[in-house]
Structures are given as C-alpha cells and as structure tokens.
Amino acid sequence: MRGRLSMRSFRGNRLFPRRAGFVFIPFFSYVRGISAGLFFWDLRQSRALKNRPRQSGLTYMTTRGGNMKYIATIVLFFSCVLAFAQPKSNVYSISPGHPTVGSTFTVIYNASAPTAKLRDATDIELYALVFRNGDDPRFLDLPMKKAADTWTASATITDKNSSYMIFRCVSRDESDESAENGFDAMIAGSDGKPVMGAHQACGLILSSGQYNAFRRTKNMARAKDEFDQEMQLYPQNWQARIDLLGAMYRNDHSDEGKATLRPEVDKAFEANKDNEVAVSRIVGWYRTVGDSAKAEMIEKGAIANKPNGSVARQSRWAHIMEEQDAGKRVPQILQYLKEYTDLDKKEMRTKLLGLYDAYHGAKENDKAADVLSRIENTSWDWWNGLAWDLIDKGEDLDKAVVWARKGVDLSRTPDPDAKRYYATLDDWERGRKYGTGSVLDTYAYGLFKLGKTEEAEKSYAEAYQLMNGDAAEVNGRYMECMIKNGHFDRAYEVGIDRVRKGKSDDKLISVLKIAFAEKEGSTDSFAKLTDEKQKKFENVLADAGKANRESAMKKALEGRLSKPSVDFTLNDLSGKPVTLSSLKGKIVVVDFWATWCGPCKASFPYLQKVHEKYRNNENVVFLAVDTWEHEKDIPATVENAKKFMAEHKYTFPVVFDVLTGKKVAEKYEVEGIPTKFIIDKKGNVAFKSIGFSGPDMEDELIAQIELLLGERS
C-alpha cells in the first residue's frame, strides 16, 4: 500500500490532531450498560468495532455520536460542583456550588487570575462532556460572554439522567483545564448527595487520565476511591463495579495484574448473578483473566435459562465477529438482524456498521453502500473509504466517484460533536479543512481516472488549499493532473514550493521532473533533456532542498526546550536493560510507538533513514519505546515487535515499556503516539514532537540532532 496508509488505514482507535500531523490518542470507551472495562474484551470479540471503515486525514474518529437535539434540551448548560477542591488561583468559579437537575447556574472564568492561560483570548468557548446514566456522554459547546476580565456562561440542567460533567475552556490556539486538577462537577440529588453514576464517571476519568481531548491527571488510587464511594452510595449500580474492573485492567494487564483482578471478577459475579445484563458483561471478564471454562459455564447456563436473552445475544454476536472470512460473516449478520427485530437505535447502528464492514471486506460494495444509506448521520469518511478502495484499483469508477462526492458533501457540514476530539478551535478548523481536502483528493483522483481532468484539477486545487499543501502524495497527484491539462508552469511552481517546504516525496520529485521537461520543451522525458538542462534542474532542486533544511534548522532553534528528562531502564529486543541516564553525553531520540499505530508506522521509513544517517555516530542513540501494546505479556510483546521489525527491515533499537505500574509513557506525559523526545547531551529534553506530519519529519529530526551535536556538553 502506498502513502495513503497514513491517512486511511487507522482502525479501531480514535484520532484527533495535536497541532501537527497524525496521532493516535489512547482512548477508553465509556458506554453506560457496556462498561468501559468490558470494552477491551468487546474490541477483541467485535470486528464491527475493531475493523472500522477506513477514514482519512486529521479528523479520523469512530462513530459519530452527535445528537444535537441534546444541546437544545440542556440550554446553555455548564457548571462545576466542588467535587474536587477549586484551584487556589480561582481561575474558575461556579454558582451555585452544587447544581441539581433543573437548576440554573453560572460558570465564571477569571482571565486575570495568575494561572489563567487564556488571558489574551478574544473568544472563548466552554466545552463539556456530560455523563449520563444509561447512555453515552454528550458533548456540549457554549460561547462565553466577556465582561472586563471575566467570561461567563449560564445553563439549566434538564436531562434527569445527568450525573457528572467535565469541562475545558478553549480559545483559538490554547485551552485551559485548570492545571492538573481539571474542572468538573458532580450533579447533586435532592438530598444533596451526588446522584448515581457521579462518582463512577469521575473514577473512569481519573483511571484513564483522558477522555477525548478532556484530560485529568491519572490517579489510580483516587479513581478506586471514587468507585468505592459510588458502590457505597449506590450498591445497585452494577456498572460501577464492572467499570472498576476495566480501570484495574488498564492499569495492569500483566499476568500478575490478571491474578489480582480475578477475585474482583468473582465479587462482581456473586453480587450480580441474578442480573442478566450484568452477567453478559462479566462473562467477558472471566475470559480476560484467563478462565474461559468459568465463562463458558456461566454462558451456557444463562443461555439455557433465556435462549434469547442478553447473554445469548452477546455470545452469538461475538462468535459472528470472530469469523475471519467477511463473506461468511454477511449471512450470519443478516440472520441475526432477522431474528432480533427489537434492537434499540444504538444497537441497530452498531450491527449495521458490522454488516457494512462485512460487505466491504467481501467486496460487495453496492450492498455496503446500501447499508450506509440506511444509517443515520453517516460520516463522510465511511463513504471516502468505500470509494478510495475502488478508485485506487481503477474499478467501478462511476459508482466510486458518486460515493466520493457524497463524502465531499458530508464533509462540508461536519458534526460539531467532533470538536470534543480537538485541543483548540484552530485545531478543529484545521482538522475540518483537512478532512474535506482528503475526500476531495479521492473525488478528484476518480475524476482523473475517468478522464475528466479539468474537473479533477479544480477539486485538486481546492484540496491543496484546504490541506495547506501538507500532504505530499496529494501534491503529486495534483501536479500530475495539471501536467495532463498542459499547465506545466503551475505544476512546476507547486512542486518546487513543496520541496522548499519539506512537503514532497519521491513520487512528487519524479512528477516534478516531468513538469520541468515539458516546461523546457521536451515532450518525451526528462532523460531526453540536454545535460545542461538536467544540471539546471538538479541545481534548482538542490537549492530548494537547502532552503527546506535551513527552515528546519530555524524551526529547531525556535523550538529548543530545556526540561529535565525522566530516567528509565527498559529492556531491548534481546532482553538487555538500557538505562537512559547511562547515555548522558549523547543525543538520544526517544520515540514512543506501537505496532498497531498507523501514524507510527507511517513515520518509521523516515525514522529509519535518519537512523541510517547516524548509524556510525556513537554520539547519537535511537530508542523506539514500544508502549500501549495489546499483547498479554512482555514475551508476547517482544515477539510481536520482532516480527514487525523483521517484516519491515527496520534496524533502529527497540525497548519495551513496562506492563505493570506507571509506564514510562505516562512519566513523559505522552498523550498520543507517535511522540518523540530528543534528549540533549546534558540529559535534558530539548525537543518534543507529537504525531506524524509527513516526509518533512526527516529533515526536521536531522536539524534537531545537528543542532544538539553542535552544542557543548
């Protein structure tokens, strides 16, 4: 597969941009009734979640869940209760301090407070996630009103199921979450106590450290305390106990961690064995801790008792999703839908997405498109993924272009709910534009292959503008289209400019040669040009490359940090321990990654090039820290990485993050992968980069290393 991998093949995880490039964010699912803990087992069992439709660009996300009607019912609502101590800086305040369902309250952001981050903002929006019993959390977005140095938003809570809220204040290029304390609220009942689900939701946030773009400092001890308080106040809330299992598993899923988890699974079963819905979740946990026999025994008993109950349905769906042959999954899903006609709206959507994925995998694209047309609020990227596979192969182009056009139209009216994944308003705007640009590229490529090159060039031009020329492969296709239409000068100008900006690749350079040859009057090939003209081109290309390197060096100088690094000792592929502090005096490139991470894999060819450049320089060390893997233990993780490295012929050193306790990735406050830290000779963090921005990563990384090599120890 070509470079499109970096945009369209991220599966089963959520993505949002962090200022530059592509990045996978660790994301825990929160679905009332389908616990966050069980989410790990469900992902393993459910291909509908695991193999999402291919999506593209900076706005990759899973199912769109934005029900904007909810915003209308919670009219301008944002609040905070003192569930945790207010920051001493008084950046935020709320009145009244303990909101209840039906109450109106006001949130105040004090921009003049010493620790306020948004002092100079001209516009501020208040974001909130509202957790609700029995349903998914909803995202709300409110503009705040300014008076002097304070910003306010008032609201009324009308949804009776609301339990807990977490907030962020967001401006164009910055956000404020009240430092590590976060800013949150527990909804109070008429008795003044937090309502059911409030402590549970807070525990989930604290156990993960992040939900969408909302962050809290991860604190497992406090998370457990929140879960304990929830179960003391509301012993009937079985989801809280199961969500605690999920939190414990996320914190430690080693064999030792599973052994510790096993008694908690037993407690959950004993407390809820008469609750069929709860049992349907607990069955998965027995499998997770390695007791498949107990899981099967419980499952068989429950199915015998209720052949069409929750356990039976979940078991059947899991077995369907385990089928590797997409063509064989299709009739099984159709039979499931025929037998279970009482599925609620959310469950039906999940099953239809499973059917779409099966049809798509079986290459029954017409039927896949028909399923998409039956799903409300379909995402542009599903249509994009369906269209791209055909267009790239040159198959069914007429249909594929129609589907791509649907994607384009949908992308122009993005779901505001997607803002929850973005750090700032600028990030949201860039992501929205990049998404439209990506599907426009698919559409234009289809038109190009149909011979409609003039129309294709117009779409490419818009895609180029929306994506700011940042996607090298799109730039190359745009240039090809211009050449086809005889616009040689423009194609040449675009190509040289992209080389100067570091947004080119080998394919673009080859197209640029064609544009230069045509511009110079050769209709055959670049090779037919005179030596003098070829030399002219090489000089121009070298000058453009030099300009890019100088720009990268300037950027490196401007972005130079000096923060203490966190020491660690991790084992490499051979089991040998590597200690960061032992490398003091050298430049160390620490790259956090995982084998399942699409952006990580897209970045590795460039990391390999830089590693090869410094292979013989003993003063430069590379450590690719394999983290957040899904393997059961370290030996399995090592074997998985060895296979990955061998398949791709990568030679840079790999070390493995711990499975128990606090991960090195957490100590470095890694929010998404890939994330790179460049450590200077003194052992300080000199540079940090998040995500993969494209081929310019190579020059950027080289510039950073060269700058540090030139510094004194």
For residues 598 and 613, give the distance between their C-alpha atoms in angstroms, rounded to a whole number: 24
Give the lowest-confidence range in 79-93, 221-235, 268-282: 79-93
For residues 312 and 337, give the distance between their C-alpha atoms in angstroms, rounded to a whole number: 14
3-state secondary structure of 151: strand
* Residue of 434, 407, 354, 706 lying closest to 560 (CA atoms): 706
**Following CA atoms 83, 85, 86, 89 in sequence, which dihedral angle do they give, to the nearest 10 degrees?**
-160
pLDDT higher than 80, residue 11? no
Neighbours of 447 (CB within 10 A): 24
In this prediction, residues 320-342 reach a mean pLDDT of 95
pLDDT higher than 60, residue 54? no
358-403 pLDDT per residue, tens = 999 999 999 999 999 999 889 999 999 999 999 999 999 999 999 9
Pairing type for strands 150-156 and 684-690 reads unpaired
Average pLDDT taken over every residue of the chain: 85
> Where in 112-205 does DSSP place strands (E)?
125-132, 135-143, 145-147, 150-156, 162-170, 175-176, 184-186
112-131 pLDDT per residue, tens = 999 899 999 999 999 989 99
């990955």: which residue's tokens? Answer: 644
347, amino acid identity:
E
Pairing type for strands 620-626 and 587-593 reads parallel
For residues 614 and 622, give the distance between their C-alpha atoms in angstroms, rounded to a whole number: 9
255-311 pLDDT per residue, tens = 888 899 999 999 999 999 999 999 999 999 999 999 999 999 999 999 999 999 999
* Residue of 674, 597, 603 lying closest to 11 (CA atoms): 597
In this prediction, residues 576-605 reach a mean pLDDT of 96
Element of type H or E holding 43: helix 39-45
For residues 185 and 701, give the distance between their C-alpha atoms in angstroms, rounded to a whole number: 42
Q: Give the confidence band of 71 by pLDDT, cuts at 50, 70, 90.
A: very low
Q: Give the confidence band of 180 by pLDDT, cuts at 50, 70, 90.
A: low
For residues 69 and 533, give the distance between their C-alpha atoms in angstroms, rounded to a whole number: 63
Over pLDDT 90: what percentage of the chain?
70
Map out the domains of the chain with their CATH numbers: 92-254+264-292 (2.60.40.10), 379-550 (1.25.40.10), 563-710 (3.40.30.10)
Over pLDDT 70: what percentage of the chain?
87
pLDDT higher than 70, residue 94? yes
